[in-house]
Structure 1
Amino acid sequence: MAMSYRELATRPVLAWCVVTAAGRLPVAMAPLALVFLVRERPGGYSLGAVLAAAYVIGEIVAAPVLGLRMNAERARPQLVAGLAVGAAGFAGLGLAPDAHPVVLAAFALLAGAGPAAVPGGLRALLTSLVPERAVTQAMSMESVLTFGIWAAAPALATGLALGVDPAVPLLLQAVLMGFSVAGLWLLPAGWSAEPQGEGASVRRALLRAWPVYVLGAGALTLLALAELILPALLEQRGIAIGWAGPLLAGFSIGSAVGAFVYGLRGGRWPGPLPVQSVVLVLAVSAGVALVALLPWTAGIAITLAASGLLMAPAMLTRNLALREILPPSALAAGYSVMYAAVGAGYAASGTLAGGLLKVVAPSTAILCGVGLTVLLTVVGAVGERRSARRAPELQEEAASEVPDASDGSGGAEEVERKVRR
């Protein structure tokens, strides 16, 4: 029986929410804050794009590397170090806004790379704070919190940069990450994990989960399309570009509602998680494609909100599927690899969109991006189907690697655990 959201309102979970919000708000503010920091320089917007790219590259490269090195039972020192490095990077940007572009790029890279594995570690920590039957609700709550942060971050970064000073958002980001560091002592030092053996075993487990990463990357390409091409699409339709903000806010609100609704039933929806994920991503793809074809503002708004409603459950099913596949000791690394994969999907879609907009209409660029998403979804779905067919072989392998139950060493339980995974 699934728990209600009300039962998640425990002191450890609420402390986790505060720490997570303080650590993720700087991440959500970063791209726009970097653009505003240098926009008044000659070629400022181009430099801002380069700094944002450096930040994202730091995240993508560092997330799997640092995630693999995270010690599940003693994760706090690594989480503290990551957030502290991120805070230092943001502080450097805020305190030296007139520095040479190479110096600013180095600070941006540091700010992105330092805390790249923190979201994965915090997600693994969250699932250890609640009973097994409440994991879906907990991850749904995390998704609602995340989409709320991403909805508020652009307005906060813009307001501070234009209303106070372009360096203020970066300094605030440094302070927030420092606050998140202090808050980690309100949480457990780590989470319990089953012995995983050599690092090669962890890497093999992560590699076997590649279809999950591909599907996650496919879902984020849709978000990139919605955010990056929408202003150009509105201009093509003769709609005031000022509608872009409210339309994207509707998408984020729809996503938060979708995450909440998905968690109400504790994940008890028809079909296994991989099937749910594929269906949801394809449904969002259809919605984004419809946005490219509709000529009316109201129609675009309704379609974007409906797409957002399905986007959050699509991502949730990916994270829940990853949790089923990986052992506890590899969860932080798995979530970090997922973080890098979806970041790469976002970046790839943005690059594709930027190139296509030079040669085709915005509506056509969106349809091409949707085609990329469908391709990634098909590849991931085929990969998961092949993995399911190999399950009997993996069960035999798991059984052969554990001790015999007759020696009293718990072999039967170990076989059951490995077969389940």
Structure 2
Amino acid sequence: MPRPSYRSLATRPVLIWAAVAFAARMPVAMAPLSFVFLSRLRPGGYALGAGLAAAYVVGEVVGAPVLGVRLRPARARMHLLWGLVAGAAAFAGLGAFPTAPPVLQAALALLAGAAPAAAPGCLRTMLTEQLGEELIAKALSAESMHTRAVWTLAPAVTGTLAIGVAPNAPILLAAALMAVAAAGLRWLPRGWEADTSDRGGISIVRTLAMAWPVYVSGAAAMSLPALAELVLPALLAQRAIAAGWAGPLLAGYSLASAFGAFLYGLRTWPGRLHSQGLVLLLGVSACVAMAGVLPHLGWIAVALLTAGLLASGLQVTRSMGLRETLPQSALTAGSSVMYAAVGAGYVGSASLSGAVMGMASPAAAILCGVALTLVLATASAVGERKLMRARSRKSAAPRPWATPSTAQPRIGP
């Protein structure tokens, strides 16, 4: 049987999903930079903008696992609707009152991050539940390309609106897009069937905890883009290279990531998913480390483009690995926990790089960040080996979700 092509995804339900996902993801990608532009003209504006961005990320990290665990598959669309509406209202409040007291703004930023935090995992499940098992890997690769496109477009849109229109224009656009996403949910499935008996009587929290090596690898993977984004301008200045090159280099990283996701979905790759992810993580780590020590702009560009090319495959292997580790009824909650772990990895890497740059060079900050990534990767590999041994001991009584499953009937639109 021939391997399905990307054309198999060009169906009306998938295209509608892509449009709704775009409207839901753009506000998330725009938010941190939007907060900086919203506050920069006020006294202590840049510090306030960074504080609002931090509150937003904290909201995401806390809201994703809490709301993801509480989500009921049969009523997923309603759950997602209320989250998007609350997020849109919080963004609208920030945009409508740009000079509000910082405490109020921080509370709104926290709500804007927390309320729709279960959306990434929920939308991913809404996509995969409409497809056959043979299309899952390709759909996740396409989703990775979709995500990279959004994150490439968002900074340009944010900067153009903030400078050319008004400082609060990006926040108001984010509110409008999130409201559009909420309205577009009517064309997506109400939810999906999920038989909780596939957990074998184990609670959802314990079931999710079984996948901790995948979450750790997700945090490790996200720490690397954080290094590239946050340390690159200072690194270029250290190399006597114009800091303005940081924008094109990061845009190239994003485009290379999108192309890498396309390549990963074209074929089946050898080895287990965890082994693929580990190799890709080590490759990205090596490229980021080389970008930190190489002296010339051309070589830095090559290292970052190669890192981007490998990073998208790493994202797909994480998503596939989660599907392999968790039962179907826990996948959406698992994706939400993964989203929180990725955010924690970004925050941890940002904190470490900032602390190191206060005492040492940007190159040292990058190398310390790569060292942290390797520690997390080692912990993930050790945990995966323990999981494999536990599974082998229970091979006489395999888990219900370890056997090939038939597609569950989805609840209608």
Q: TM-score, normalised by structure 2?
A: 0.95
Q: Share of identical aligned residues, percent?
A: 55
CA deviation profile, 1:304-347 (whole Å, cap 9, x unmatched)? 11110000101110110001111121111000000000100000
1:260-279 matches, cutoff 5 A? 260-265=262-267, 268-279=268-279
Q: CA deviation at 1:251?
A: 0.4
Once residues 246 and 45 of structure 2 are traced to their aligned partners in structure 1, the CA distance between those partners, rounded to angstroms, is 23
Q: CA deviation at 1:3?
A: 1.1
Contact 1:274 1:321 in 2 (8 A): yes
Output the amino acid matched with 1:181.
Answer: A
Q: Which residue of 2 is the match for residue 324 of structure 1?
A: 324
SS of the aligned residue for 1:52 comes to helix
Once residues 393 and 39 of structure 1 are traced to their aligned partners in structure 2, the CA distance between those partners, rounded to angstroms, is 58
Q: Which residue of 1 is the match for residue 303 of structure 2?
A: 303
1:111-122 matches, cutoff 5 A? 111-122=112-123
Q: Which residue of 2 is the match for residue 203 of structure 1?
A: 205
Output the amino acid matched with 2:67.
Answer: L
CA deviation profile, 1:249-284 (whole Å, cap 9, x unmatched)? 01000000000110111xx10100000000000000
Structure 1 residues 199 and 86: CA distance shift in structure 2, 3 A: farther
Q: Which residue of 2 is the match for residue 348 of structure 1?
A: 348
1:4-403 matches, cutoff 5 A? 4-196=5-197, 201-265=203-267, 268-395=268-395
SS of the aligned residue for 1:75 comes to helix
Structure 1 residues 80 and 61: CA distance shift in structure 2, 3 A: same
Output the amino acid matched with 2:271.
Answer: G
Q: Which residue of 2 is the match for residue 407 of structure 1?
A: none
Once residues 242 and 76 of structure 1 are traced to their aligned partners in structure 2, the CA distance between those partners, rounded to angstroms, is 43
Q: CA deviation at 1:392?
A: 3.0
Structure 1 residues 54 and 394: CA distance shift in structure 2, 3 A: farther
Contact 2:328 2:401 in 1 (8 A): no
* Deviation larger for 190-199 or 218-227: 190-199
Q: Which runs of 5+ in 1 are unaligned?
A: 400-414
CA deviation profile, 1:154-178 (whole Å, cap 9, x unmatched)? 1111110111001111111011001
Output the amino acid matched with 1:262.
Answer: Y
Once residues 222 and 166 of structure 1 are traced to their aligned partners in structure 2, the CA distance between those partners, rounded to angstroms, is 30
Once residues 279 and 325 of structure 1 are traced to their aligned partners in structure 2, the CA distance between those partners, rounded to angstroms, is 19
Output the amino acid matched with 1:349.
Answer: S
Q: CA deviation at 1:358?
A: 0.8
Q: CA deviation at 1:192?
A: 2.5
CA deviation profile, 1:64-107 (whole Å, cap 9, x unmatched)? 00000111122001000111111011001000111000000000
Q: Which runs of 5+ in 2 are unaligned?
A: 406-413
Contact 1:280 1:311 in 2 (8 A): yes
Q: CA deviation at 1:245?
A: 0.2
Q: CA deviation at 1:395?
A: 4.3
Contact 1:395 1:419 in 2 (8 A): no
Q: CA deviation at 1:419?
A: 6.2
Q: CA deviation at 1:417?
A: 3.9
Once residues 8 and 391 of structure 1 are traced to their aligned partners in structure 2, the CA distance between those partners, rounded to angstroms, is 34
Structure 1 residues 310 and 40: CA distance shift in structure 2, 3 A: same
Once residues 356 and 185 of structure 2 are traced to their aligned partners in structure 1, the CA distance between those partners, rounded to angstroms, is 44
Contact 2:260 2:313 in 1 (8 A): yes
Q: CA deviation at 1:190?
A: 1.1
Contact 1:117 1:336 in 2 (8 A): yes
Output the amino acid matched with 1:355.
Answer: A
Q: Which residue of 2 is the match for residue 412 of structure 1?
A: none
Once residues 53 and 141 of structure 2 are traced to their aligned partners in structure 1, the CA distance between those partners, rounded to angstroms, is 29
Q: TM-score, normalised by structure 1?
A: 0.93
Q: CA deviation at 1:394?
A: 4.0
CA deviation profile, 1:176-210 (whole Å, cap 9, x unmatched)? 00100111111111122223479952211110000
SS of the aligned residue for 2:270 comes to coil
Structure 1 residues 237 and 199: CA distance shift in structure 2, 3 A: farther
CA deviation profile, 1:363-411 (whole Å, cap 9, x unmatched)? 0110000000000000001100010000034445x56xxxxxxxxxxxx
* Deviation larger for 353-362 or 195-204: 195-204
Contact 1:395 1:418 in 2 (8 A): no
Once residues 326 and 401 of structure 2 are traced to their aligned partners in structure 1, the CA distance between those partners, rounded to angstroms, is 11
Q: Which residue of 1 is the match for residue 411 of structure 2?
A: none
Equivalent pairs, count: 403
Output the amino acid matched with 2:374.
Answer: V
Q: Which residue of 1 is the match for residue 408 of structure 2?
A: none
Once residues 275 and 392 of structure 2 are traced to their aligned partners in structure 1, the CA distance between those partners, rounded to angstroms, is 20
Output the amino acid matched with 1:45.
Answer: Y
Q: CA deviation at 1:291?
A: 0.2
CA deviation profile, 1:129-169 (whole Å, cap 9, x unmatched)? 11110001101111001001001101111110111001111
Contact 2:327 2:401 in 1 (8 A): no
Output the amino acid matched with 1:342.
Answer: V
